[in-house]
């Protein structure tokens, strides 16, 4: 009987010490933070609130993937999180909203150049100069915004388009 009581006592002491050590080493203090998320200049709402710990924001993978338009797949066996962009149906570009950049190159007074060694397109008209950073891939549909001027540039199926209403707003011929 004494051995049983002694064994239980030693077991409880070891268990309480282990619990105390685990409690002091595994505790993290973080705060919830509200952020404004902008993707390609457009403000997006997120359903969950990110955590901030030690100056770093921790964002839920699924929520961020949803904002970016990616599908999320988790494989338990390999502990792999895969983000895949869904297939997008390619619709024709609405020429009432967009004008092909190659059409602008024949307009008197407009000069379009691609900066060698950089992923940039420069559009000049009079004293105005607009710079567009090209996307990494021209295979997918991408939108870029000029600096300055906030002109939207659409790259789709290897063709570059500019937003017609942006050109009108800035007084650029099209």
For the chain, the structural domain boundaries read 31-84, 98-169
Least confident piece of the model among 75-84, 90-99, 156-165: 90-99
On the question of pLDDT at 78 being above 90, the answer is yes
**Burial level of 93, CB count in 10 A (0-12/13-18/19+)?**
middle
Pair 133, 144: CB distance under 8 Å: yes
Of the candidates 163, 159, 121, the one whose C-alpha atom is nearest the C-alpha of residue 139 is: 159
DSSP secondary structure code for residue 136 in this structure: S
On the question of pLDDT at 91 being above 60, the answer is yes
Q: What is the rounded average pLDDT of the residues 77-88?
A: 82
CB atoms within 10 A of CB 167: 22
Look up tokens 């388009």; give the residue: 161
On the question of pLDDT at 136 being above 50, the answer is yes
Residue 38, SS3 per DSSP? strand
């Amino acid at each position: 009987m004494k051995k049983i009581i002694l064994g239980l006592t030693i077991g409880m002491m070891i268990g309480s010490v282990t619990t105390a050590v685990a409690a002091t080493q595994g505790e993290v203090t973080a705060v919830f933070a509200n952020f404004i998320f902008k993707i390609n200049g457009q403000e997006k709402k997120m359903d969950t609130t990110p955590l901030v710990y030690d100056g770093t924001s921790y964002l839920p993978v699924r929520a961020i993937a949803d904002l970016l338009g990616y599908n999320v797949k988790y494989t338990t066996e390999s502990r792999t999180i895969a983000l895949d962009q869904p297939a997008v149906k390619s619709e024709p570009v609405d020429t009432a909203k967009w004008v092909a950049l190659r059409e602008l190159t024949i307009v008197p007074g407009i000069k379009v150049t691609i900066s060698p060694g950089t992923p940039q397109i420069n559009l000049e008209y009079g004293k105005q100069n607009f710079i567009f950073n090209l996307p990494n891939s021209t295979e997918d549909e991408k939108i870029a915004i000029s600096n300055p001027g906030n002109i939207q540039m659409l790259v789709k199926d290897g063709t570059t388009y500019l937003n017609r209403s942006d050109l009108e707003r800035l007084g650029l011929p099209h």
